[in-house]
């Protein structure tokens, strides 16, 4: 098994990230004798190989580029993709709020293009395991190539299965279940069966209707703590002399995240004591109702 280098001088096969003074970026794999063409001239790969990160190289027309190995968040946003990726801001929230720890046994339903998978593999470490399930074979193959680009060939602690997690899952006990799928509520029985007590289920959903249905299915099951839902917005800042202000563009809504913890067998969630909002539990609502503070 080969593992991509993350330090030391650049060698043949390394991926590097070229950035010009205007912030334009290019990712290339180093090949001796090859040249990379830009609008500002050619960059010789041989001018990079053997040198450390952080150098500045010039094109054949004298234009400078700084050279580093791409960080994981830089790689995943530019990786080849079939399915949409989970962006770094959401991957970071999943790692933190779903408490992905070294040695954890994690299953993700919906490998997509493999962006979250690489974060999960790094987090669980050599003693953990990530089982990825993907319905489409072409998406699974894209995910495999992307993950191996970051983690090396045949990463330890990773299995990738083409199939429906609801019928193909082989793991009997898991610590975390990550659901990146259109109908995550259909996996609540699976979460109830396979998560260890205290384990966490986390869903990544794009719409409010998906969010509501998943949350109410968890509540109806009764074997999970009160779900917690949120989204993360990221806004960069413009920094130039005294012109320090929020950037005009921002990374807004990508998806909602929902987490809940598995109760011990035979114990039901206490739910939430709250005064229901007017109309929240009308005649069309079929799920469990909250405890009324006046009861």
Of 52-61, 149-158, 167-176, 273-282, give the lowest mean pLDDT range. Answer: 273-282
pTM, to two decimals: 0.85
Tens digit of each residue's pLDDT (9 = 90 or more) over 172-188: 999 999 999 999 999 99
Least Cα distance to 231 among 249, 247, 208, 215 occurs for 208
For residue 149, what are the contacts with CB-CB under 8 A and spacing of at least 6? Answer: 4, 15, 75, 79
Contact 135, 164 (CB under 8 A): yes
293 annotated as belonging to a binding site for a ligand:
no
The CATH classification of domain 15-70, taken from the options 3.40.50.150, 3.10.330.20, 3.40.50.510, 3.30.565.10: 3.10.330.20
269 annotated as belonging to a binding site for a ligand:
no
37 annotated as belonging to a binding site for a ligand:
no
Binning pLDDT at 50, 70 and 90, where does residue 270 land?
confident
221 annotated as belonging to a binding site for a ligand:
no
Residue 245 has pLDDT above 70, yes or no: yes
Residue 264 has pLDDT above 50, yes or no: yes
In degrees rounded to 5, what are phi and psi of residue 146?
-65, -45
CA 48 – CA 67 distance, rounded (Å): 8
Residue 273 has pLDDT above 70, yes or no: no
287 annotated as belonging to a binding site for a ligand:
no
113 annotated as belonging to a binding site for a ligand:
yes
Superfamily for domain range 74-261: Vaccinia Virus protein VP39 (3.40.50.150)
């Amino acid at each position: 098994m080969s593992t991509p280098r993350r330090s030391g001088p650049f060698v043949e096969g390394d991926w590097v990230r070229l950035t010009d003074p205007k912030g334009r970026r290019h990712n290339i794999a180093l090949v001796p004798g090859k040249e990379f063409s830009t609008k500002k001239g050619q960059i010789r790969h041989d001018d990079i190989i053997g040198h450390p990160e952080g150098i500045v190289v010039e094109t054949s027309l004298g234009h400078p580029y700084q050279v580093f190995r791409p960080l994981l968040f830089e790689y995943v946003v530019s990786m080849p993709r079939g399915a949409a990726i989970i962006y770094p801001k959401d991957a970071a929230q999943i790692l933190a709020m779903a408490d992905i720890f070294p040695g954890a046994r994690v299953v993700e339903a919906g490998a997509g293009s493999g962006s979250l998978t690489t974060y999960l593999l790094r987090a669980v470490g050599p003693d953990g395991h990530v089982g990825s399930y993907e319905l489409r074979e072409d998406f699974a193959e894209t995910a495999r190539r992307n993950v191996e680009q970051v983690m090396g060939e045949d990463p330890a602690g990773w299995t990738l299965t083409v199939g429906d997690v609801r019928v193909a899952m082989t793991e009997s006990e898991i610590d975390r279940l990550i659901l990146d799928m259109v109908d995550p509520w259909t996996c609540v029985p699976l979460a109830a069966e396979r998560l260890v007590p205290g384990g966490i289920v986390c869903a990544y959903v794009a719409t409010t209707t998906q969010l509501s249905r998943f949350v109410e299915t968890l509540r109806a099951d009764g074997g999970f703590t009160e779900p917690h839902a949120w989204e993360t917005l990221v806004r960069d800042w413009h920094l130039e002399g005294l012109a320090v202000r929020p950037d005009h563009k921002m990374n807004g809504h990508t998806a909602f995240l929902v987490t809940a913890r598995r109760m011990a067998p035979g114990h039901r969630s206490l739910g939430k004591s709250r005064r229901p909002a007017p109309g929240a539990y009308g005649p069309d609502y079929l799920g469990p109702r909250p405890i009324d503070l006046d009861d």
